[in-house]
């Protein structure tokens, strides 16, 4: 392959001196760059090179800063500067000149200027801001090349904050007559999508146009965006499955221009991109997958040529086939492909084969069996990467029977690994499988010892943490627990007696904790011996102060017996004057506790783990202290978030010291809200927050005495069916491998090496025969957990009863529907009753799944035809066809509270229903709040008791308006709960979630979840202002966003008409319209202002939003766009 450029250049200097050589013909021998390069090649030492380059840089610096340097010379200087930077010498003085060149040069100078900028600067470089105007200018240029250059730089690096400034121009280019411009514009938008997805939300429709572009290049470029969007939200693009399949069919069938062929394979890049998209769309979705089967089969069939590129396509096909809903015929073919890869003598293909096998082995463990001999060979492969990938594969097939062999292999590799990244990764894996599948205690402790010693201090802290948790919590069998701990103690004592200075810190910490806690289990071991061993660790030079404090704590637990006491005395004296405050504290504790044995026994009780410890995570015991402090005049606690917000507000306001930041009534209410002096809420706020911190800190800090208490009861239970059972494994001999269907390259006939056969039988034991659940540790951690944890608080029978109703579409008002159409694919759920039935059905079928409390969408939507993806239609449909709901609507109106009857209420949305209890909701717009009404109706023939409704939300502040909570619900009765909602933080949609629990007449408890989505405009209220007030506030607000919107067409005063639409739909207040400009104001409940300035400009409406609240402008802008698109 390399013959294309097989034109080796042997002696560089000699070539340079003979101009007749073909390579040199193109060099301009006069150019300064050429002489620089020539100069460098003639040098002999690194030192000389450095000197020469420094000289060169000085010369360049002189020239670039001279006013007489023309742009043309500047271009030449830039090229030299790039060269120097590439050699590793800094030329940062040139950066600004590169920007200048891009700005001022002629088209061809610009090209170099832009190139230099792209090479010199990175995405967050501050100088990039200076480039924005240049880009803006070039995007508007009539010269195609300049537009191309601008688009190129924009797709490489552009400051995120400045995207709105150029977005309209880039968007415009999507309809440019030249395909090269359209293509680059698509890629620029892809880049924007990656760095600021919400900025390009409104152009999703245009992406569809790019997908349908007649130029294959533009279409291919648009797939980058689609791949990304589908990755994030596969449900939203299912309707495109058919289109992607059609495109792939055409590509595979050779319908694209010949230009796009690569080694006579039609557009491989496009094929691969499409295969990736299809695998995302077909994942867990049978109906979508079925559309793909044919084209996948075709792709497999067509990719027959013996060339790298076809293998690349095949690999992607195989991955796709194993990702989507399975089809036996295809799986068989894909498996054959993987076999061909693995058995190939070409090392790259072998690697890809292993990678593919690793990917699929979770679904098809038998495939690994077929190739066991090859895998064994790969384990000893001289190339590390092959070995590494093989280990990855082994890790995936680990089970209780082969764990010892596999862990041994992993540890062997760990011992030789020099790369930190690999070490950390493998260590985690060894610890994972060792915990999960350990055959016996001795092996487990020995393995973990190796992990701790090899891992050193690179280890992630969760490995020792999990290990200690496991040791302390043990499993159900007390005797087993004791044995495990005893083993640990034994092995640690002997380790400390050996060479403790060779042990890493983390390991020493683990050792000291275990010895402190459990050394008493070994009766023949004197505490004094342990204390002496630990004291030795304290004396180690390399022991960190963290380790020392673990050791001191362990010693504190060992205050028993005369001999130990005397050692401890010495230790505590030494460290009670330590410079390290933590150590000093530990030493003091040690001293005081050992003087007072009663206190000691109470503080550090033995075997504290046998009883679960209650942790008061709300820190309610501090409430008294807090209220005292507050009463004494202390300032109430504010969460960091709140403080930051206030700081931001204070900053914004301070620019205009006497300005009215808000109308008086509102600012009053805001003060009220913040300083609310009710002790209860204050203290609970405090408690909540501080627990967060303690949890976070818990993993790293030195709260040693607390450590055991923070840990929960969830733990692993080692398998007790210990001892490796040597099952006679289905060893496949060489002829069997061939029979599997390997066409190309028969492997060197394996000399039925006894050793390898044995290894194979121990590695692949249990792969074929067992059920899948125990095979794939990684894929089903949930399963594993449930199986092992007998003490799980919720019994599985309870779980299966729990019905979970996921989100229902709120078919509220027109604008709401609009917002939903693109945003949330979950909306297209089946109608209410269907949903409940199906979820109950599946809950009963697999109770373990329901433990999550939510169903995967795939489960629920199984029978739904995927065509119903256009959300708007489905939502409307489900409401209209569902008659009971419609009926209920009518009835519910009569239950509206008196003060809501006149007000504008949204449609009733069914939330959930369970055992004859139905929940529906609607919301009512009021001036100062948004009222959420939840209607609970009992259509069954019996009463339900202990009824509790809880509504909660991260986005929304919820307060209950009903005087007394509903407790009982008589049959055929409807109760109404009222909640007042205000927004905590802006978001395109705000979601309220809730929980209903009640007891059935037969006393069985029921729990159901629901959620309700509210579009931002529900929380928007007009803000009445004078123009002067508006002006003052405008200056004070720091968060802004700009965008061009479409004007309402075909009317005389389009500005007025557009603003009317916004006023009507989004409840904005139009402050004034002056000529071609308009100012608009609104507030987000309760009192967050947002101002909008609009100007008619070139047929579009240029709007500029400002607010003191981050994200509010963006979110509001989104709804403005939607509102106007609908017109």
Partner 1 sequence: MQFMLLFSRQGKLRLQKWYLPLSDKERKKISRDLVQTILARKPKMCSFLEWRDLKIVYKRYASLYFCCAVEDQDNELITLEIIHRYVELLDKYFGSVCELDIIFNFEKAYFILDEFLLGGEAQETSKKNVLKAIEQADLLQEEAEAPRSVLEEIGLT
The residues in 209-228 that bind partner 1, with binding defined as CB under 8 A, are: 216-217, 220-221, 224
Eight-class DSSP state of 460: -
- Residues in contact with partner 1, total (CB under 8 A)? 85
Q: Which is nearer to partner 1, 380 or 383 (CB)?
A: 383
Q: What's the farthest any 2 CA atoms get from each other in the chain?
A: 103
* Residues 295-314 within binding reach of partner 1 (CB under 8 A): 308-309, 311-312
d(C-alpha 128, C-alpha 121), whole Å: 8
Are 251 and 289 in contact by the 8 Å Cβ rule? The answer is no
Q: Which is nearer to partner 1, 221 or 247 (CB)?
A: 221
* Residues 89-128 within binding reach of partner 1 (CB under 8 A): 90, 106-108, 111-112, 115, 118-119, 122-124
User: Can you spell out the DSSP letters for 372-411?
Assistant: HHHHHHHHT-SSHHHHHHHHHHHHHT--TTTHHHHHHHHH
Q: Which is nearer to partner 1, 267 or 450 (CB)?
A: 267
Shortest Cβ 153–partner 1 spacing (Å): 9
Eight-class DSSP state of 944: B
Shortest Cβ 967–partner 1 spacing (Å): 53
d(C-alpha 760, C-alpha 263), whole Å: 40
User: Can you spell out the DSSP letters for 338-373?
Assistant: HHHHHH-SSHHHHHHHHHHHHHHTTT-HHHHHHTHH
The piece of 17-25, 162-170, 681-689, 770-778 that touches partner 1 (CB under 8 A) is: 17-25
The piece of 137-145, 608-616, 678-686, 1075-1083 that touches partner 1 (CB under 8 A) is: 137-145
Shortest Cβ 411–partner 1 spacing (Å): 19
d(C-alpha 11, C-alpha 499), whole Å: 56
Shortest Cβ 55–partner 1 spacing (Å): 19
Among the listed residues 18, 20, 126, 259, the single contact to partner 1 using CB under 8 A: 259
d(C-alpha 372, C-alpha 761), whole Å: 9
3-state secondary structure of 929: coil
User: Can you spell out the DSSP letters for 963-1030?
Assistant: SS----B-TTEEEEEEEEEEESS--SEEEEEEEEEEE-TTS-EEEEEEEEEEEGGGGEEE----HHHH
* Residues 419-458 within binding reach of partner 1 (CB under 8 A): 419, 421-422
Q: Which is nearer to partner 1, 259 or 304 (CB)?
A: 259
Shortest Cβ 42–partner 1 spacing (Å): 14
d(C-alpha 772, C-alpha 361), whole Å: 11
Are 410 and 391 in contact by the 8 Å Cβ rule? The answer is yes
Token reading at 590: 């040690």
* Residues 332-391 within binding reach of partner 1 (CB under 8 A): 347-348, 350-352, 355, 383, 385-386, 388
Q: Which residues pair with 1070 in a beta bridge?
A: 1080
Q: How many Cβ atoms from other residues are within 10 Å of residue 1051's Cβ?
A: 12
Where do the H-state alpha helices sit in 846-933? 857-861, 871-881, 883-893
2 binds partner 1 (CB under 8 A): yes
Shortest Cβ 147–partner 1 spacing (Å): 10
Cis peptide before 1086 (omega within 30 of 0): yes
Q: Which is nearer to partner 1, 115 or 652 (CB)?
A: 115
Among the listed residues 48, 175, 246, 262, the single contact to partner 1 using CB under 8 A: 262
Are 1114 and 164 in contact by the 8 Å Cβ rule? The answer is no
Q: Which is nearer to partner 1, 1 or 680 (CB)?
A: 1
Shortest Cβ 281–partner 1 spacing (Å): 17
Long-range contacts of 721-729 (CB under 8 A, 24+ apart): 721/400, 722/439, 722/440, 723/439, 723/440, 724/401, 724/404, 724/439, 724/762, 725/401, 726/761, 726/762, 726/765, 727/401, 727/765, 727/766, 727/769, 728/761, 729/760, 729/761, 729/762, 729/764, 729/765
Q: Which residues pair with 913 in a beta bridge?
A: 918
The piece of 76-84, 694-702, 1058-1066, 1080-1088 that touches partner 1 (CB under 8 A) is: 76-84
* Residues 187-206 within binding reach of partner 1 (CB under 8 A): 187, 190-191
The piece of 16-24, 160-168, 1004-1012, 1095-1103 that touches partner 1 (CB under 8 A) is: 16-24
Are 336 and 322 in contact by the 8 Å Cβ rule? The answer is no
Report the relative pairing of strands 1077-1084 and 1069-1074 from DSSP bridges: antiparallel
Return the half-sphere exposure (C-beta side, CA atoms, 13 A cut-off) of residue 1030: 19
Q: Which is nearer to partner 1, 227 or 622 (CB)?
A: 227
d(C-alpha 792, C-alpha 796), whole Å: 9
How open is the CA angle 806-812-816, to the nearest 5 degrees?
Answer: 95
Q: Which is nearer to partner 1, 421 or 658 (CB)?
A: 421
Among the listed residues 57, 82, 375, 1090, the single contact to partner 1 using CB under 8 A: 82
* Residues 725-784 within binding reach of partner 1 (CB under 8 A): none
Shortest Cβ 886–partner 1 spacing (Å): 48
d(C-alpha 375, C-alpha 800), whole Å: 42
Binding string, residues 522-561; x marks residues near partner 1 by CB under 8 A: ----------------------------------------
Shortest Cβ 622–partner 1 spacing (Å): 43
Among the listed residues 100, 184, 202, 925, the single contact to partner 1 using CB under 8 A: 184
* Residues 381-420 within binding reach of partner 1 (CB under 8 A): 383, 385-386, 388, 419
207 binds partner 1 (CB under 8 A): no
Among the listed residues 183, 827, 888, 1013, the single contact to partner 1 using CB under 8 A: 183
Among the listed residues 103, 267, 450, 519, the single contact to partner 1 using CB under 8 A: 267
d(C-alpha 121, C-alpha 158), whole Å: 10
* Residues 139-178 within binding reach of partner 1 (CB under 8 A): 142-145, 148, 152, 155-157, 178
Q: Which is nearer to partner 1, 123 or 739 (CB)?
A: 123
Are 260 and 266 in contact by the 8 Å Cβ rule? The answer is yes
Q: Which is nearer to partner 1, 388 or 401 (CB)?
A: 388
Among the listed residues 165, 180, 615, 1000, the single contact to partner 1 using CB under 8 A: 180
The piece of 86-94, 129-137, 440-448, 456-464 that touches partner 1 (CB under 8 A) is: 86-94
Are 974 and 933 in contact by the 8 Å Cβ rule? The answer is no
* Residues 25-44 within binding reach of partner 1 (CB under 8 A): 26-27, 33-34, 37
3-state secondary structure of 256: coil
269 binds partner 1 (CB under 8 A): yes
Q: Which is nearer to partner 1, 74 or 1082 (CB)?
A: 74
**CB-based contacts of 1, cutoff 8 Å, min separation 6:** none
Among the listed residues 316, 955, 975, 1029, the single contact to partner 1 using CB under 8 A: 316
**CB-based contacts of 873, cutoff 8 Å, min separation 6:** none
Binding string, residues 972-1011; x marks residues near partner 1 by CB under 8 A: ----------------------------------------
């Amino acid at each position: 392959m390399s013959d294309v450029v097989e034109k080796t250049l042997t002696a560089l200097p000699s070539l340079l001196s003979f101009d007749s050589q073909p390579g040199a013909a193109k060099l301009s021998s006069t150019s300064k760059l050429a002489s620089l390069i020539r100069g460098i090649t003639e040098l002999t030492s690194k030192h000389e090179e450095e000197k020469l380059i420094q000289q060169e840089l000085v010369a360049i610096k002189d020239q670039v800063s001279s006013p007489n340097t023309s742009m043309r010379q500047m271009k030449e200087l830039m090229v030299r500067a790039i060269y120097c930077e590439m050699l590793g010498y800094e030329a940062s003085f040139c950066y600004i000149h590169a920007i200048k060149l891009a700005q001022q040069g002629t088209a061809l100078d610009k090209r170099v200027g832009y190139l230099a900028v792209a090479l010199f600067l990175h995405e967050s470089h501050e100088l990039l801001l200076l480039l924005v105007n240049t880009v803006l200018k070039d995007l508007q240029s009539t010269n195609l090349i300049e537009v191309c250059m601008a688009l190129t730089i924009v797709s490489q690096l552009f400051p995120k904050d400045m995207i709105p400034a150029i977005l309209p121009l880039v968007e415009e280019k999507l309809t440019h007559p030249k395909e090269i411009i359209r293509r680059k514009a698509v890629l620029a938008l892809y880049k924007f999508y990656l760095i600021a997805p919400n900025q390009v939300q409104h152009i999703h429709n245009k992406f569809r146009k790019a997908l349908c572009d007649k130029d294959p290049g533009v279409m291919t470029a648009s797939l980058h965006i689609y791949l990304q969007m589908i990755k994030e939200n596969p449900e939203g693009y299912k309707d495109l499955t058919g289109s992607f399949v059609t495109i792939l069919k055409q590509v595979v069938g050779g319908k694209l221009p010949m230009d796009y062929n690569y080694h006579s394979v039609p557009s491989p890049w496009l094929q691969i991109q499409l295969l990736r998209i299809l695998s995302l769309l077909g994942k867990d979705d049978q109906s979508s997958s079925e559309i793909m089967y044919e084209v996948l089969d075709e792709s497999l069939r067509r990719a027959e040529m013996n060339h790298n590129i076809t293998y690349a396509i095949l690999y992607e096909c195989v991955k796709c086939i194993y990702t989507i809903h399975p089809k036996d015929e295809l799986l068989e073919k894909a498996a054959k492909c993987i076999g061909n890869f693995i058995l190939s003598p070409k090392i790259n293909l072998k690697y890809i084969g292993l990678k593919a096998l690793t990917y699929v082995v979770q679904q098809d463990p038998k495939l690994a069996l077929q190739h066991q001999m090859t895998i064994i060979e790969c384990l000893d492969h001289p190339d590390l990467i092959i070995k590494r990938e093989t280990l990855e594969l082994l890790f995936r097939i680990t089970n209780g029977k082969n764990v010892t062999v596999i862990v041994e292999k992993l540890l062997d590799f760990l011992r030789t690994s020099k790369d930190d990244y690999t070490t950390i990764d493998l260590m985690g894996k060894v610890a994972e499988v060792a915990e999960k599948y350990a055959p016996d205690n001795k092996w487990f402790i020995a393995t973990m010892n190796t992990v701790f010693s090899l891992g050193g201090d690179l280890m992630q802290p969760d490995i020792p943490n999990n290990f200690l948790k496991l040791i302390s919590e043990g499993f159900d069998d007390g005797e087993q627990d004791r044995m495990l701990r005893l083993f640990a103690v034994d092995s640690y004592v002997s380790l400390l007696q050996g060479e403790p200075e060779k042990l890493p810190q983390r390991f020493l910490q683990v050792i000291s904790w275990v010895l402190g806690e459990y050394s008493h289990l070994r009766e023949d071991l004197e505490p004094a011996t342990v204390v002496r061993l630990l004291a030795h660790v304290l004396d180690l030079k390399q022991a960190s102060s963290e380790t020392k404090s673990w050791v001191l704590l362990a010693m504190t637990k060992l205050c028993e017996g005369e001999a130990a006491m005397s050692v401890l005395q010495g230790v505590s004296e030494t460290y009670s004057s330590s410079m390290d405050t933590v150590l000093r504290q530990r030493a003091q504790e040690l001293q005081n506790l050992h003087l007072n044995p009663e206190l000691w026994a109470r503080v550090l009780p033995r075997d504290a783990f046998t009883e679960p410890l209650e942790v008061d995570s709300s820190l309610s015991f501090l409430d008294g202290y807090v209220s005292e402090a507050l009463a004494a005049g202390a300032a109430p606690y504010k969460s960091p978030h709140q403080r930051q917000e206030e700081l931001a507000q204070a900053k914004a306001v301070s620019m205009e010291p006497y300005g009215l930041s808000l109308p008086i009534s509102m600012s009053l209410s805001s003060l009220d809200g913040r300083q609310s002096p009710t002790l209860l809420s204050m203290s609970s706020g405090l408690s909540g927050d501080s627990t967060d911190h303690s949890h976070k800190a818990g993993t790293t800090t030195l709260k040693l005495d607390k450590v055991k208490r923070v840990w929960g009861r969830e733990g692993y239970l080692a398998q007790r069916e210990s001892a490796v059972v040597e099952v006679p494994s289905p060893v496949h001999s060489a002829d069997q491998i061939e029979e599997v269907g390997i066409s190309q390259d028969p492997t060197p006939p394996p000399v039925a090496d006894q050793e390898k056969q044995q290894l194979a039988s121990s590695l692949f034991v249990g792969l074929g025969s067992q059920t899948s659940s125990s095979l794939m540790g990684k894929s089903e951690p949930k399963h594993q957990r449930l199986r092992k944890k007998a003490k799980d608080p919720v019994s599985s029978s309870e779980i299966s009863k729990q019905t979970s109703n996921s989100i229902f579409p709120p078919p509220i008002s027109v604008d709401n529907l609009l917002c939903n159409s693109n945003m949330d694919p979950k909306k297209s759920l089946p109608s209410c009753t269907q949903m409940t039935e199906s979820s109950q059905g599946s809950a009963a079928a697999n109770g373990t799944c329901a433990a999550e409390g939510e169903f995967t969408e795939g489960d629920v939507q199984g029978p739904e035809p995927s065509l119903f993806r256009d959300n708007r239609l489905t939502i409307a449909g489900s409401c209209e066809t569902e008659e009971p709901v419609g009926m209920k609507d009518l009835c519910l109106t009569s239950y509206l509270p008196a003060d809501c009857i006149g007000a504008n209420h949204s449609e009733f949305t069914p939330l959930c229903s369970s055992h004859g209890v139905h929940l529906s909701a609607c919301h009512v717009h009021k001036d100062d709040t948004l009222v959420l009404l939840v209607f609970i109706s009992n259509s069954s023939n019996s009463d339900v008791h202990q009824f509790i409704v809880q509504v909660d939300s991260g986005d929304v502040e919820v307060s209950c308006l009903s005087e007394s909570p509903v407790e009982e619900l008589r049959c055929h009765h409807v109760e109404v709960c009222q909640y007042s909602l205000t927004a905590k933080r802006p978001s395109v949609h705000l979601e309220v979630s809730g929980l209903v629990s009640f007891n059935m007449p037969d006393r069985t408890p029921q729990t159901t979840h629901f959620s309700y989505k509210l579009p931002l405009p529900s929380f928007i209220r007009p803000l009445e202002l004078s123009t002067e007030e508006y002006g003052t506030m405008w200056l004070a607000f720091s968060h802004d966003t700009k965008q061009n919107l479409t004007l309402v067409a075909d009317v005389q005063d389009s500005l007025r008409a557009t603003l009317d639409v916004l006023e009507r739909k989004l409840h904005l207040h139009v402050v004034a319209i002056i000529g071609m400009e308009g100012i608009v104001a609104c507030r987000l409940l309760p009192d967050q202002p947002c101002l909008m300035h609009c100007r008619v400009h070139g047929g579009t409406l240029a709007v500029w939003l400002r607010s003191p609240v981050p994200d509010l402008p963006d979110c509001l802008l989104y709804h403005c766009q939607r509102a106007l698109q609908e017109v």
